[in-house]
Each structure stands twice: as C-alpha cells, then as structure tokens.
C-alpha cells in the first residue's frame, strides 16, 4: 500500500492503520516498514466490534497452510520471527474505504488470517470513490 501512497495522497485519500498492540511494538513496526501512514491504536478493540471484525477459529489461526508456510520457510532459512506474546492472534482484521461523510464504500472483513484482499483492489476502490 505504501508504494501507492503518493498517488493516493494526490487524490485526497488518507490511509489509517489501526491496531491493538502495545505502543512500542507499534512504533517498531511503523519504523521497520517505513510507513508513511497514520497509525491509530485501540487496545480495547471496541472499534473492531463496531466494524464486525471477528475472531478466527483456533484451527484456521494456527494450521491453515497459508499461515504455516511462511513459518516453515523462515525455519528453513534459520530465521525466526519475533513472536509477540500477549496479543490475541485470533482477532481478525479488515480493510475499509470510508468517505468523509462516514459512508463505507468498500469493505473486506477477513475470514481467516490468510484472507487478505489484494492491495490494488483496496486502492482501486478508494480511487473510484472520488
């Protein structure tokens, strides 16, 4: 999404990233990704409820092939991701395009941790909402 940022900004589109992790993890992620976006936190996750974002099943969270594959790849390369304990890994996310009037014109609620919409699809939805 970051590589679309210049075009998005020029079209009057802002990107907000919302998470529920602790402040230091959030800062670290933003720094690591060199993200130009505005980051917002909601540790209560009430906003997730408001948007109808659910929790994944245990099986899909930990055993879906698309979830397991990157961990196997990391292990084969002797790289191990930093596991952030204490966060709810079953909480699902989602992507929305919202007008300033509050009208939601695009929504994708994840059905599992591997269920991400193509970045281009979200950007296109925002650009066509103009």
Partner 1 sequence: MTPQMPRSPIMDYTFEGDDGGPFQLGRMTSEIAIVIFLRYVG
Q: Which residues bind partner 1 (CB under 8 A)?
A: 1, 8, 11-23, 25-26, 29, 38-43, 46-48, 50-51, 53, 81-84, 87-89, 91-104, 110, 113, 122-123, 126, 129-130
Q: In terms of C-beta density within 10 A (0-12 exposed, 13-18 middle, 19 or more buried), how is residue 50 classed? A: exposed
Kindly tell me which of 78 and 100 has the beta carbon lying closer to partner 1. 100
Kindly tell me which of 23 and 73 has the beta carbon lying closer to partner 1. 23
Look at the alpha carbons of 23, 24, 27, 32 in this order and tell me if their dihedral is positive or negative: negative
Kindly tell me which of 14 and 63 has the beta carbon lying closer to partner 1. 14
- With the CA atoms of 118, 20, 14 and 31 taken in that order, what torsion angle do they form, in degrees rounded to the nearest 10? -90
The length of the chain, given as a count of residues: 130
Kindly tell me which of 76 and 83 has the beta carbon lying closer to partner 1. 83
- 3-state SS assignment for residue 69: helix
For residue 98, the minimal CB distance to partner 1 (Å) is 5
For residue 118, the minimal CB distance to partner 1 (Å) is 13
Distances (CA, A) of 93 to 11, 31, 49: 25, 21, 10
For residue 78, the minimal CB distance to partner 1 (Å) is 18
For residue 83, the minimal CB distance to partner 1 (Å) is 8
């Amino acid at each position: 999404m970051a590589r679309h940022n210049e075009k998005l900004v020029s079209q009057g589109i802002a990107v907000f990233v919302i998470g529920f992790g602790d402040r230091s993890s959030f800062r670290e992620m933003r720094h690591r990704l060199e993200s130009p976006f505005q980051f917002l936190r909601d540790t209560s996750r009430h906003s997730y409820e408001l948007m109808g974002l659910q929790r994944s099943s245990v099986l899909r969270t930990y055993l879906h092939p698309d979830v397991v594959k990157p961990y196997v790849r990391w292990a084969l390369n002797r790289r191990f991701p930093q596991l952030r304990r204490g966060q709810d890994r079953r909480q699902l996310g989602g992507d929305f395009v919202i007008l300033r009037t509050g009208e939601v014109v695009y929504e994708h609620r994840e059905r599992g941790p591997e269920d991400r919409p193509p970045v281009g699809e979200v950007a296109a939805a925002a650009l066509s909402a103009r």
